């Protein structure tokens, strides 16, 4: 795939991208800064604090010797706006990454409304339609990607918070463990309608926030099955789930793609 390799860091929800030419970079998704903060600003569990997430990001970059980080959406948890109490924490996380010599880029997610004004100006912010770099298209997953991203050899997205359900464990009372999803797209048979994208593989990133909700993808009808990621991407290939330690836990269930009726368009609401 153009010589660019992608490799999950063992035990971490972090993907490393190694292009043939140029510097390697890391990509993560779904930081959800502020997720564990209570209604009155009371701090939640320490492992979900902005400082803990910052330290995990710094450690991933330092231990892998990588100085570029791409965040594939949902930097913050509040969907609309950035609460005044959260703004210093958001700014501080990115300021500390920059101070460590890390170049940071953000692809906006559905939780990132109003985020950009509260980031250091050195952070490169890309629209929700995604970012194309080294033959890899990165987008969050709530908005249809741009044509440039759809032309990438590999696609990387977040948004689904993928998990795999087992019996309850000490690590997860619900039994849902974070996982990766890797979907390969076989060549189209002769005469078949072409796909709307060129990629031969799509990777869904686990949520970086350790306390973010997880979607059990090995259930009959995933709650987020309405997302176009299922019908337009995962349902087009052969998706498999992998735990953070690399264990292959097998194929996942995806809703059957529904053909789009010819000549029909959804009516626009009157203004």
Share of the chain above pLDDT 70, in %: 84
pLDDT 10s digits, 217-233: 876 555 554 578 988 89
**Residue 260 counted as domain residue:** no
Q: Which of 171, 255, 253 has its CA nearest to residue 216?
A: 253
Distance, CA of 25 to CA of 127 (rounded, Å): 19
**Residue 195 counted as domain residue:** yes
Residues of the chain with pLDDT under 50: 225, 264-271
**Residue 238 counted as domain residue:** yes
**Residue 134 counted as domain residue:** yes
Distance, CA of 12 to CA of 243 (rounded, Å): 10
**CATH number of the domain that 65 lies in?**
3.60.21
**Residue 256 counted as domain residue:** no
Task: Find the radius of gyration of the CA atoms of the chain.
Answer: 19
CA torsion, ordered 114, 120, 123, 125, to nearest 10 deg? 20
Query: Exposed/middle/buried for 139, CB within 10 Å: 0-12, 13-18, 19+?
Result: buried
Domain that holds residue 97: 5-251
**Residue 259 counted as domain residue:** no
Residue 249 Cα distances to 218, 244, 254, angstroms: 10, 11, 15
**Residue 266 counted as domain residue:** no
CB 78 within 8 A of CB 118: no
Domains in the chain: how many in total? 1
């Amino acid at each position: 795939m153009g010589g660019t390799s992608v490799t999950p860091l063992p035990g971490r929800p972090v993907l490393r991208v190694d292009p043939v030419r140029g510097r390697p970079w890391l990509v993560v998704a779904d930081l959800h800064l502020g997720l564990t903060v209570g209604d009155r600003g009371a701090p939640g569990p320490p492992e979900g604090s902005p400082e803990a997430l910052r330290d995990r990001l710094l450690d991933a970059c330092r231990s892998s010797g990588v100085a570029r980080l791409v965040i594939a959406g949902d930097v913050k948890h509040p969907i609309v706006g950035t609460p005044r109490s959260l703004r210093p924490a958001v700014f501080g996380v990115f300021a500390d990454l920059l101070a460590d010599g890390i170049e940071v880029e953000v692809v906006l997610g559905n939780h990132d409304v109003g985020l950009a004004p509260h980031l250091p100006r050195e952070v490169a912010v890309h629209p929700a339609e995604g970012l194309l770099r080294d033959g890899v298209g990165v987008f969050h997953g709530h908005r249809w990607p741009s044509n440039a991203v759809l032309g990438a050899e590999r696609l990387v997205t977040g948004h689904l918070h993928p998990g795999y359900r087992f019996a309850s464990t000490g690590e997860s009372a619900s039994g849902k463990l974070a996982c990766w999803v890797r979907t390969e797209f076989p060549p189209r048979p002769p005469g078949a309608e072409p796909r709307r994208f060129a990629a031969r593989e799509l990777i869904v990133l686990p949520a970086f926030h350790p306390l973010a909700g997880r979607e059990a993808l090995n259930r009959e009808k995933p709650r987020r099955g309405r997302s176009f990621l299922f019908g337009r991407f995962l349902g087009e290939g052969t998706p498999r789930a992998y735990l953070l330690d690399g264990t292959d836990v097998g194929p996942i269930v995806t809703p059957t793609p529904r053909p789009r009726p010819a000549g029909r368009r959804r009516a626009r609401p009157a203004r």
